[in-house]
Structure 1
Amino acid sequence: MLVSDQILDFYQSLSPPALLPKEVVTLNPYQTVEGWESTVQFYQKYYADYQTRRMLFGINPGRFGGGVTGVPFTDPIRLEEVCGISNPFQKREELSAKFIYEIIAAFGGVQAFYSQFYISGMSPLGYVRDGKNLNYYDLPDWESIFETDMVSWIKKQLQFSIDTSVAYSIGQGQNLKFLKQLNDKHGFFKKIVPVPHPRWVMQYRLKRKQEFIDEYLIKLG
């Protein structure tokens, strides 16, 4: 089975954690016509093969990026202008997508990058509360809400011909801590390597951006 077909089957199977608070809205682009169409086009273009890839874990998709397009760290602008997939979404920029695609360009472009890496999130679904993006770990009792689902999501994605010698945490705070915690318990990967979160770089360390792009390139090899 092609990696693209496995990924698409996985995204179609997603549902939010049963214990998610009622005031939290789930972003599931795979349940919208437009989101599913862009997702299918992307994965059939870049993942229709049997290649082994290394995996990067973000936090969870945002409402201007993967939470709309269905492609992690990819806003409608990069999806169309860089990935070559036209889409009907409002062409609004997401800072994290801007940074990730600068890394992808420095790595050699989308074909080179996506042939070697698969990006997901600790939660592949996004969350909004009061109209604002919500990180999964900002909820009270988030571990009890998410742990069972996250373990299941990781196990399913490891079937996508994933190289388990290393995984990368996009973010060096709580996301890294929880991925390491789950990895210590379940032994998914031999090691976890942290890389800076794109939004942190773009908001707080913009003058040092090239330094962090170089860090990504070194760690990704």
Structure 2
Amino acid sequence: MTFADKVITFNKELNLPDTVQLPKNIAIMNPFKDNGKETVKLSTEFYKRYFSDHKKRHLVLGVNPGKNGAGVTGIPFTSPQNLKESCNIFCEQNHHEVSGAFIYRMIKQYGTIEDFYSKFFISNVSPLGYIKRNENNEEINKNYYDYIDLMVSTTPFIIETLKKQIEFGIYTDKVFCLGNGDNYNYLYNLNKEYGLFDQVIALPHPRYIAQYKRKQETKYIDLYLEQFKSI
């Protein structure tokens, strides 16, 4: 199986174990079940285009899928807009995600999309997302670490899915963590106990950069490039 075949199979089989009890008013977001054929189609085309080989890659981990990015496309930090504008993959929807926009601006500075994805595989610590409805019945993204009970109960699932992704053909000398706060602390402690990677390298999360450091984006892109080009 190629790297792409392994990713596609992994995604199709993603399912939260029955042992996980979701907090009140929190729903699971599984793009491959919620959106069905469209998400599977988009993600399959993407992975077959950029990952149809047997190369090893370094893993880049975000938090969990966002409803306007991977929640639609099944591809972490890749919105429908990114697919159309950067990957030339048609998508009927037109959602925009600020985190994905930063990542693709960074990739453009790195080199070609083919160059970047030949060396890196982007995923999330939690491969499934979480949604809460507010008082206006709007869907709001929640993080796996926002609720202690959720974080604890999903840890076995997170460990299992990280191990499965390493088997795709992932280098374990270092893993890149997007988010140098709660996401990094969780992954660092998890790795300290289970020894999945030799080193966990933290980078500021793209959403934090887009929301609070937009005028300094060039500095943060340079920070990403410094780490990514060091391997």
Fold match (TM-score > 0.5): yes
Equivalent in the alignment of 1:211: 219
Instruction: Identify the residue that residue 21 of structure 2 maps to in structure 1.
Output: 19
Matched, 1:179 2:187: yes
Stretches of structure 1 lacking an aligned partner (at least 5 in a row): none
The aligned residue for residue 63 of structure 1 is: 67
The structural deviation recorded for 1:139 is: 1.7
Q: Number of residue pairs matched?
A: 220
Of the structure 1 ranges 168-177 and 21-30, higher mean CA displacement relative to structure 2 is found in 21-30
Q: Does 1:119 align with 2:122?
A: yes
The Cα shift of 1:22 comes to: 5.2
CA distance in 2, matches of 1:40, 1:103: 23
TM-score for the superposition, normalised by structure 2: 0.92
Q: Sequence identity of aligned pairs in percent?
A: 37
Paired with 2:25 and 2:54, the residues of 1 have a C-alpha distance of: 41
- Following the alignment from structure 1 to structure 2, what is the Cα–Cα distance between the partners of residues 168 and 71? 17
SS at match of 2:172: strand
Mapping of residues 105-184 of structure 1, within 5 Å: 105-130=108-133, 131-184=139-192
Structure 2, gaps ≥5 residues long: 134-138
8 Å Cα contact 1:34/1:88 also seen in 2 = no
SS, match of residue 163 in structure 1: coil
> What is the identity, as a one-letter code, of the residue corresponding to 1:104?
I
* Runs of 4+ that moved beyond 6 A: none
Which one-letter code corresponds to 2:103 in the other structure? I
What residue identity is the alignment partner of 1:19? Q
What's the counterpart of residue 30 of structure 2? Answer: 28
Output the CA distance in 2 between the equivalents of 1:85 and 1:2: 21
Task: Give the deviation of 1:124 after TM superposition.
Answer: 1.0
Q: Distance in 2 between matches of 1:21 and 1:143?
A: 10
CA contact (8 A) 1:30 1:39 kept: no
- SS of the aligned residue for 1:164 comes to coil
2:48 maps to 1:40: no
Aligned residue for 1:119, secondary structure, equals strand
Would you say the 8 A contact 2:3–2:53 is kept in 1? yes
Q: What are the superposed Cα offsets for residues 135-174 of structure 1, whole Å, 9 maximum, x if unpaired?
A: 1111242332211100001000000110111100000001
Aligned to 1:202: 210
- 2:152 & 2:30 partners in 1: Cα distance? 21
